[in-house]
Amino acid sequence: MKTTNPTHLTVNERKQIMAHGIHPEEVLRQLMLFQNPPQTIILDRPCVPGDGIQVLSKDDAEHLIQIADEARLSGRLTAFIPASGASSRMFKSLLHFFTESSAMNRARLQERARRGDSDARETLLFLEGLQRFPFFEDLKAATAKDHHNIEEWIDQGKIGPLLAYLLTPQGLDYASLPKALIPFHRYAEGNRTALEEHLAAGDEFLRDREGICRFHITVSPEQQPLFEAFLQQAAPRLEKLLQCRYEVTLSTQRKSSDTLAADLDNRPFRLENGRLLFRPGGHGALLENLEGSGDIVFLNNIDNVVRDGTAKSTGYWRKVLAGCLVELQTEAFQHLSNLTNQEPGSRALERALGFVTLRLSVPPPRGLTGWTERKLQGWMIDRLNRPLRVCGVVQNTGEAGGGPFWVWDTSKELSLQIVEKAQVAPSLDQEVIFSWSTHFNPVSIVCGLRDWKGQPFNLAKFADPGAVFIARKSHLGQELKTLEWPGLWNGGMARWNTVFVEMPLSVFNPVKTINDLLKSGHQPSNKEVL
């Protein structure tokens, strides 16, 4: 059933929308966004050291660590980790050949690799390094249980049965697991998953005076029991090893944050039974989960983890970022107190303006010379009384993802933003500016989520509601359009105060594909005894 009016909703559809926890007017707003997509952002220039990116001396870093340690010991720090992502992307190349043909073998893979097939090359690399993966012994045990010899399969180039035991319920069933629960590293005492490595690293930068490390982890609703069961056995083991205690809370992306799918004519996409199709609104929908997660909160990707041997460097830089945030936040709160509780004189206004422009990189308002002191006071209170984030950035080595830029907003104001390629206008000048970027966002962000009176910010007030993503997808072979909320660290934080700090590339060790685990940062060193 199709309607001529793209915003028409039947009585039953309105009931379905309400049952989903969404107001019908919000759905109509989403449909209008499909018809009239928001303007893309306008890049002014990439941030570089000395112009939007701070480069800290060793003495500066050590000073900030002392500040961070005070906040850490008092229990103000929490790690927020989105962990609802499936591992299927990690195994994309392997799944391609497994679903194509269970009879696939090494000889056929080699032939396809010679013809330039990247999936074939990735699968061959996986097979060549198979015994170096932390889960090899588990895979070997799973095949042996059914009286198979995995070494013979490897020697004979039998790909199909090997992948079946790795990816399906016949064996380890890794294709259905969340990425957080895939073993990433091997140690003498056993394997550690990505989630366990995050928990272990927390001992370095989260532990308070009582030995408590706090985490908030977002998971998919269907996987929550699996995470709860996993944490029940993993947390006590790490607590005993590290002599700490974990406080871990879980939350799920709310159904009310789902968005309506549209057909290619921007009308509500309707299933065969006539019901509307809703889809998850992307990681930007986690803004509400972040809001209630704590006071000073680290935001990191689940797949960017390191082994124990290099965890101290990661913890060092996370504490540097936290110290930078606490120092800036303390000064911002003092200015807010002065501006709010007393009649500020010109010197107080001048000091506050200097802090906003120099320390927070907020350009002064246009026409400032004609402003009254009262108007300037109001502007500075508005600029200071916002969530604050300090974002670590690393040198760009060609990784896909966003980076730090100076951006013009719809009010013709410049601000510091993390920008993804998909946000950039498809014009030559904008694409050239994006290509000039020297730094990359590894998602190592620390957030100040409470105001100067200690109350949690309403984070939705500081998002750019127009910074949505519209993408083409399909459902059962039918093309459709989807809408994702402003990205968690893109449009979702567009109106925050933002500071960029350069970090060494060594803190960035993502695992986007399974073969990333073969890189040196994820392999045991020669000194380790396994």
Residue 97 pLDDT > 90, yes or no? Answer: no
Counted residue by residue, the chain has a size of 530
Q: Which residue has the higher pLDDT, 342 or 127?
A: 127
Residue 3 pLDDT > 50, yes or no? Answer: no
Residue 2 pLDDT > 50, yes or no? Answer: no
Taking residues 278-296, report their average pLDDT: 91
**Of 19-23, 299-303, 471-475, where does mean pLDDT reach its minimum?**
471-475
**Of 142-156, 210-224, 323-337, where does mean pLDDT reach its minimum?**
142-156
User: pLDDT (tens digit, 9 = 90+) per residue, 124-147?
Assistant: 999 999 999 999 999 999 999 999
Q: What percent of the chain has pLDDT over 70?
A: 96
pLDDT tier at 281, thresholds 50, 70, 90? confident
pLDDT tier at 85, thresholds 50, 70, 90? confident
Maximal C-alpha separation, the chain? 84
Q: Which residue has the higher pLDDT, 459 or 89?
A: 459
> What's the pTM?
0.91
**Of 184-193, 252-261, 430-439, 497-506, where does mean pLDDT reach its minimum?**
252-261
pLDDT tier at 38, thresholds 50, 70, 90? confident
Average model confidence (pLDDT) for the chain? 91
Report how far residue 146's alpha carbon sits from residue 149's, in angstroms, rounded to the nearest whole number.
9
Residue 1 pLDDT > 60, yes or no? Answer: no
Q: Cα-atom radius of gyration of the chain, to the nearest Å?
A: 25
User: pLDDT (tens digit, 9 = 90+) per residue, 377-413?
Assistant: 999 999 999 999 999 999 998 877 799 999 998 778 8
Tokens of 473: 């997808």
Report how far residue 298's alpha carbon sits from residue 315's, in angstroms, rounded to the nearest whole number.
11
Backbone conformation region of residue 476, classed left if phi is above 0, alpha if psi is from -120 to 50, else beta: left
Residue 342 pLDDT > 80, yes or no? Answer: no
Question: Which among 139, 223, 140 has a CA at the least distance from the CA of 177?
Answer: 223
Domains of the chain by range and CATH? 11-86+192-323+457-522 (3.90.550), 88-176 (no CATH)
- C-beta separation of 391 from 499 below 8 A: yes
pLDDT of residue 441: 95
- C-beta separation of 185 from 177 below 8 A: no
Report how far residue 404's alpha carbon sits from residue 437's, in angstroms, rounded to the nearest whole number.
8
pLDDT tier at 218, thresholds 50, 70, 90? very high
Report how far residue 159's alpha carbon sits from residue 275's, in angstroms, rounded to the nearest whole number.
42
